[in-house]
Structure 1
Amino acid sequence: MSRSSSGGVALDAFLAFIFTFVVFLFLGNLAYLLLRRALDGRVSRGTAKWAAAILQYGIIVGGGSTRAPGTSSPSTRRPSRHRSVSSVSC
């Protein structure tokens, strides 16, 4: 991964973020459209819009919170199963 000249975010990481954002924006809008069509006539118009909007925003926000495979934050790493040398008794 290469760094930008200003020491900021790498260009490939930025482009991956933009691409992922656009994909989840599209998927959220598609889910909104499909759920609105499925619910129209079965429930009130307001309920159909409300339910579809909840699903849409859930997809957009949930998609943006995913991490790249193989990356983990320090709080999610498992502790080592190996004992340290100082804890071994004879």
Structure 2
Amino acid sequence: NMPSANEHPDVIDTYIAEELAADRVSGPFSQFEVENILGETFASCPLGLVPKARDALQWRIVRNLSKKNQGGVSVNSLLDSDLLPTAWGSAME
């Protein structure tokens, strides 16, 4: 995880517990279990925290989907951009 997550583990633990309770995530799994479920090529992403703009005592969870693992693989690198095209617009559009 990112340093901000390690500085506030209670916030991260609460977030994970809420996500598990809502069935939006599964786990925890060991690396061995994940490799058996997904195969050897998988990537996870580190979590971090940033203060919310309107209330610095509240935290926003961030996921670094571009962080590469030791094998040079990230969540984003596993996505085929031809299958998932992204178009950026502006507030004026």
Answer whether TM exceeds 0.5 for this pair: no
Q: TM-score range by the shorter chain?
A: under 0.3
Return the structure number with greater strand share: 2
Bigger relative contact order (CA 8 A; separation at least 6): 1
* Structure richer in helix, relative to its length: 1
Give the TM-score taking structure 2 as reference length: 0.27
TM-score relative to the length of structure 1: 0.28
